[in-house]
Amino acid sequence: MKTKQTIFFLALAAIFIFASCEKEAGEGGNSSIFGKVYVKDYNLTFTVLNGEYYGMDEEVYIIYGDDLSYSERLRTSYDGTYEFKYLRPGKYTIYAYSDDSTLQSVSGKIPIIKEVEITDKNTDVEVEDIVIFK
């Protein structure tokens, strides 16, 4: 009887160990998410478009899985590109802040959000342009 109990507990422990080894979205992989931030530059009342361009030095954020706040922040390069590297398969939220063209937000800013999923290892996922107003 003790042998059956021992085998049962060893099997249960093995299941627990393997289940806890499953990795969630985040750093530690060999995939990446990349894209560009595109700026539409308006006057203060958003009635006149002054210009459009890919935004240099714009902040872009990523949230790993179901985290409640951003996991990493970086700035775009001279041509508006960004890249989050060394990610594992999973769901991610990418966002950048835009001026609120409706003038309804108390802070004057709103997040422009893109949902992304990496489904396999060693994958590069391109995100459509994040378009922000300034």
- CATH (domain of 68): 2.60.40.10
3: Cβ–Cβ under 8 A, 6 or more apart, which residues? none
Counted domains in the chain: 1
The answer as to whether 6 is a domain residue is no
The answer as to whether 126 is a domain residue is yes
* 15-24, 60-69, 80-89, 102-111: least confident range: 15-24
Q: What is the pLDDT of residues 46-58, one digit of tens each?
A: 999 999 999 999 9
The answer as to whether 51 is a domain residue is yes
Report percent pLDDT > 70 for the chain.
83
Instruction: Domain of residue 104: give its range.
Output: 25-133
The answer as to whether 7 is a domain residue is no
Give the start-end residues of each E strand in the chain: 27-42, 49-54, 59-64, 72-75, 81-87, 90-99, 109-118, 124-126, 130-133
